Amino acid sequence: MKFLDSAKVYIKSGAGGAGCVSFHREKYIEYGGPDGGNGGKGGDVWVEAVNNLNTLIDYRYQQHFKAKTGVHGMGRNRHGAKGADVVLKVPTGTQIYEEDNETLICDLTEEGQRFMIAKGGNGGFGNAHFKTSTNQAPHRANPGLPADERTIWLRLKLIADAGIIGLPNAGKSTFLATVSAAKPKIADYPFTTLHPNLGVARIDGRGLVIADIPGLIEGAHEGVGIGDRFLGHVERTRVLLHLVSGNEEDVAGAYKIVRTEVEAYAETLGDKLEIVALSQIDTLSKEELAEKLAELKKASGAAAMPLSSVAHQGTEDVLRAMMDHIEAEKERENPQEVDPRWQKTRLDEVADD
């Protein structure tokens, strides 16, 4: 299935049904009076977040969505039925923007969230509604209110606990494939990953969702290479795993290139917690490993973790570090929601130390 994270669609709600002008006609009833019913309300257009989708590919093949018009009123005081609604099912994490693609309408971050993006027109009143003591036989009825139509943009930002960033061929997809059941494309050439991948990893009985995005190169924020269009998928994460390949001649320079692009994209993304790891260490000697870890520590200001996904070296340590950051962030956001068993485990570990 192809990955699509942005789509432009046209929506139109249903117009309201017209009211009816009608008079009661029945044998032996001389003055039946008005009995025109009201028109039905037009259908609404809703957008709803669901968890069984992770792409907007459905909206590549259908871009027009129209709710049904309300049924017109009829004689004998019969009111028109409401027009059927239209519900756009989108992945959790989808944002809805106006046609300018800048004005945010709503952000659906939880499963089941619904938002009305186009309201159906109200139905018109039939002539029975206008009957008064001084006007016993009104000959007028209201038309239904018109439909609401607009063009909107759907923009998906994946919801994950952690995101992986780095230069092309830094080992991001290999790490994701090693620690989860995800099967991203892996090959020995740049830009193997052309769209984000999600995987669920488990460590010590705890699970976390990891997002892998295509590699960044210098000038990505200006559109070089694939550009930074996929960085939005790691905006919602609580921690970033920054992988720097041990095969790089200048690991400090490689780190700074990616950091520059991340910070140029958004200040909030640049401020996220970051774990730096030197990947592909199975190709290095002990002396080279120590030298490059020292260079990376000097550039990043924090100790880098050694990692080899192929040899399964350091993967569990990296996952634990990511999980610790995520749990700490969750505790700061919602102290009451942290699993007490996890708190007890952490307290025991501190006591042992």
The domain limits of the chain are 1-156, 162-352
pLDDT for 351: 45
Strands across the sheet containing 162-166: 197-203, 206-212, 162-166, 239-245, 273-279, 305-306
pLDDT for 236: 86
Name the residue among 293, 280, 321 with its Cα closest to residue 171: 280
- Token look-up 């969505």 returns 65
**Domain 162-352: what homologous superfamily?**
P-loop containing nucleotide triphosphate hydrolases (3.40.50.300)
Name the pTM for this structure: 0.78
pLDDT for 343: 47
pLDDT for 98: 96
d(CA 160, CA 13): 33
In one-letter notation, the amino acid at residue 246 is G
The count of other CB atoms within 10 Å of the CB of residue 201 is: 24
d(CA 346, CA 78): 68
- Which residue numbers in the chain have pLDDT < 50? 1, 338, 341-347, 349-351, 353
pLDDT for 3: 74
CATH of 1-156, one of 2.70.210.12, 3.90.550.10, 3.40.50.150, 3.40.50.720: 2.70.210.12
d(CA 181, CA 21): 65
Cα Rg of the chain, angstroms: 29
pLDDT for 220: 63
pLDDT for 271: 86
